[in-house]
């Protein structure tokens, strides 16, 4: 029953409320005016905002004072004219060993185009080394030179003549015990040379070229070997060469070509001496050397690459090819420059060159060219300041037919020297340092150590293992000039032919250690005027009669003084 009543109630209600009712009438409705809220919105949160505290900067002013020193204006002294040049310089003197000295120099004054001059020198000594053969000597030389300098080329030429007399005295014997005519030697040396160079503009990529020629005649006096024939040696040397340089941007390509001829002759064809025969040697070297010089990184990196091609026309024709290379890199504006390189060469031995090294050589020599198969070197050089420079390096070289000097016992009594040859491995360590303070002072120190490993001989005869050279020049008030030099040599060995006092043996060879060479020399010059001065030279201050060659001692303490003139 309850379900029926409820169903009827829901049905009636749906009918009633589902009808649309429209009511019409009049009424008055008022809408309130809108008002803008004037307050700004704020965050209503439980977080409490901290107040930012600002501290003002305190400005403190310190009182300062400035004082400026007055700088005096610079003054420039302009010379009305350059220092006067003198055309002639004369130096004359006399020494304690009956030693006359004379030197004359002549040259032109300032000239942009022309260069010419001449000089003549003489030095002799007429005293003898005690307890040795006659040891007097004389040396006279004359030189002439001249040239033209232009913007595009340079032409130079010179001529020289040298006359040198000496005695073979490397033997402990009374004076003239071997006969004066058998110990006398005299060399005559005459030569001329000319060279031409061109100078092209750098910005035109032009080619520079050079060419030169040299002729030299050298001979010895004729020594009596037997009662019929007199013997002597003569030598004709001639060379011609040239090259071209081509600039490729910053780099340079070069090609050099040279020819050297040397004709050496000793004796005559009609020899009747059983121990002497005529010696004749004609040697020609032809050399071609192309190279390339590379400059990078603003010239800090430098490289030189090339090859030396040499043809040796001797008794047997030989051809050599040597690599030529050198690399260097400049650090800290040339303060430190490491470098490394490799090279090789053929050195043409001549009678003149050998006697310039050892004047006591016999004139009949067996000539060979020195072949430096390879020479590897490296080191570093640079400057500590504008006044100090240095160089330290070392290397290894393989040298074939190195010339060594030994006392001759076949053609003399041991008072002359002969040349022998051997292959050597040479290890070198050297260094130098120089200091120069304007024109006031200059100091040079050079040290060199060499180790020789010989193939045939026990030692490198008469060659030092260590050398030290020191030079010092000082200018006091441009009035007094001092010069001092010191030389030290250690480790020299000489070949001897029999056992004896202080004689050692190695590989069935006898040798003797030579005493060290230490030579001190001091010179002083006082200038009265610019045209006249007086000088005093003290040589071998330590008074050491050391042997520069085995059994050939030098003179002891020497004093040499004189005058100089300029006009």
What three-state secondary structure class fits 98?
A: coil
Question: Which of 415, 413, 417, 385 lies closest to 404 in space, CA to CA?
Answer: 417
The pLDDT value recorded for residue 220 is 93
pLDDT at 73 over 90: no
pLDDT at 462 over 70: yes
The pLDDT value recorded for residue 275 is 56
Digit-coded pLDDT (tens) for 336-372: 999 999 999 999 999 999 999 999 999 989 999 999 9
Q: What is the DSSP string of 431-491?
A: EEEEEEETTTEEEEEEEEEEEEEESSSSS-TT--SEEEEEEEEEEETTTEEEEEEEEEEE-
In a domain, 68, yes or no: no
In a domain, 161, yes or no: yes
pLDDT at 14 over 50: no
CB contact at 8 A, 274 and 257 = no
In a domain, 77, yes or no: no
The pLDDT value recorded for residue 286 is 97
The token pair that represents 525 in the structure block: 């010059």
Task: Taking residues 70-96, report their average pLDDT.
Answer: 79
The pLDDT value recorded for residue 75 is 67
More confident residue, 352 or 412: 352
Q: What domain count does the chain have? A: 1
Digit-coded pLDDT (tens) for 383-397: 988 899 999 999 999
Mean per-residue pLDDT over the chain, rounded: 87
* pTM (global) more than 0.85: no
In a domain, 457, yes or no: yes
DSSP one-letter code for 299: T
Least-confidence region, from 162-166, 175-179, 214-218: 175-179
> Residue 437 sits in which domain range?
103-566
Task: Taking residues 270-276, report their average pLDDT.
Answer: 56
Residues with Cβ within 8 Å of residue 414, at least 6 apart in sequence:
170, 171, 407, 408, 551
The pLDDT value recorded for residue 35 is 57
In a domain, 78, yes or no: no
In a domain, 39, yes or no: no
pLDDT at 273 over 80: no
3-state percent breakdown (helix, strand, coil) of the chain, nearest 5: 5, 55, 40
What's the CA dihedral at 104, 109, 115, 117 to 10 degrees?
-10
The pLDDT value recorded for residue 278 is 82
Confidence band for 560, pLDDT divided at 50, 70 and 90? very high
Digit-coded pLDDT (tens) for 123-132: 999 999 999 9
CATH number assigned to the domain comprising residue 455: 2.40.170.20
Which parts of 348-465 are beta strand (E)? 370-383, 388-407, 417-437, 441-454
Which residue shows structure tokens 């004369």?
A: 90
pLDDT at 23 over 50: no
Which residue shows structure tokens 């304007």?
A: 438
Q: How far is CA 265 from CA 163, 187, 315, in A?
A: 19, 15, 15
In a domain, 505, yes or no: yes
Digit-coded pLDDT (tens) for 225-266: 543 345 789 999 999 999 999 988 888 999 999 999 999 999
Q: How far apart are CA 302 and CA 325, in angstroms?
A: 11
The token pair that represents 456 in the structure block: 């045939």
Q: How far is CA 293 from CA 16, 243, 301, 327, 557, in A?
A: 121, 15, 11, 10, 50
In a domain, 207, yes or no: yes
Q: How far apart are CA 119 and CA 103, in angstroms?
A: 7
Q: How far is CA 106 from CA 32, 123, 225, 250, in A?
A: 130, 18, 43, 41
The per-residue b/e assignment along 529-557, b for 16 or more CB within 10 angstroms, e otherwise, is: eeeebebebbbbeeebebbebbbbbbbbe
Read off φ and ψ for residue 390, nearest 5 degrees. -150, 165
Residues in a beta bridge with 238? 215, 261
Confidence band for 15, pLDDT divided at 50, 70 and 90? very low
């Amino acid at each position: 029953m309850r379900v029926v009543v409820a169903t009827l109630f829901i049905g009636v209600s749906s009918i009633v409320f589902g009808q649309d009712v429209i009511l019409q009438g009049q009424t008055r409705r008022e809408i309130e005016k809108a008002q803008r809220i004037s307050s700004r919105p704020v965050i209503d949160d439980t977080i409490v905002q901290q107040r930012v505290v600002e501290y003002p900067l305190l400005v403190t002013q310190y009182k300062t004072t400035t004082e400026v020193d007055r700088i005096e204006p610079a003054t420039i002294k302009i010379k009305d004219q350059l220092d006067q040049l003198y055309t002639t310089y004369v130096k004359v003197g006399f020494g304690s060993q009956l030693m006359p000295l004379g030197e004359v120099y002549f040259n032109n004054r300032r000239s942009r185009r022309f260069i010419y001059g001449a000089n003549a020198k003489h030095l002799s000594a007429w005293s003898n080394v005690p307890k040795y053969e006659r040891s007097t000597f004389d040396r006279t030389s004359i030189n002439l030179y001249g040239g033209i300098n232009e913007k595009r080329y340079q032409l130079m030429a010179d001529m020289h003549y040298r006359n040198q007399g000496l005695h073979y005295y490397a033997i402990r014997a009374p004076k003239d015990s071997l006969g004066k005519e058998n110990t006398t030697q005299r060399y005559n040396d005459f030569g001329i040379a000319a060279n031409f160079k061109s100078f092209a503009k750098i910005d035109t990529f032009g080619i520079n070229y050079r060419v030169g020629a040299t002729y030299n005649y050298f001979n010895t006096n004729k020594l009596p070997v037997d009662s019929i024939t007199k013997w002597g040696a003569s030598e004709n040397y001639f060379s011609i060469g040239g090259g071209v340089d081509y600039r490729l941007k910053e780099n340079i390509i070069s090609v050099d070509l040279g020819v050297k001829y040397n004709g050496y002759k000793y004796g005559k064809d009609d020899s009747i001496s059983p121990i002497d025969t005529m010696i004749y040697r004609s040697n020609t070297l032809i050399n071609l050397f192309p190279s390339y010089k590379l400059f990078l990184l603003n010239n800090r990196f430098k490289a030189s690459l090339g090859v030396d091609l040499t043809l040796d026309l001797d008794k047997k024709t030989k051809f050599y090819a040597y690599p030529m290379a050198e690399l260097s890199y400049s650090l800290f504006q040339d303060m430190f420059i490491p470098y490394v390189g490799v090279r090789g060469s053929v050195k043409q031995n001549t009678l003149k060159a050998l006697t310039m090294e050892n004047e006591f050589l016999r004139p009949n020599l067996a000539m060979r060219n020195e072949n430096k198969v390879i020479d590897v070197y490296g080191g570093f050089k640079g400057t500590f300041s504008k006044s100090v420079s240095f160089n330290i390096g070392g290397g290894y070289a393989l040298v074939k037919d190195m010339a060594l000097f030994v006392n001759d016992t076949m053609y003399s009594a041991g008072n002359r020297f002969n040349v022998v040859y051997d292959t050597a491995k040479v290890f070198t360590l050297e260094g130098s340092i120089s200091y120069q303070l304007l024109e006031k002072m200059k100091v040079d120190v050079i040290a060199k150590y060499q180790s020789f490993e010989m193939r045939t001989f026990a030692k490198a005869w008469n060659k030092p293992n260590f050398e030290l050279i020191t030079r010092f020049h000082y200018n006091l008030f441009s009035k007094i000039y001092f010069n001092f030099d010191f030389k030290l040599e250690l480790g020299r060995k000489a070949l001897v032919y029999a056992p004896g006092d202080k004689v050692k043996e190695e590989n069935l060879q006898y040798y003797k250690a030579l005493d060290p060479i230490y030579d001190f020399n001091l010179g002083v010059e006082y200038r009265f005027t610019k045209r006249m001065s007086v000088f005093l030279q003290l040589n071998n201050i330590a008074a050491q009669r050391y042997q520069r060659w085995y059994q050939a001692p030098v003179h002891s303490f020497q004093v040499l003084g004189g005058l100089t003139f300029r006009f």
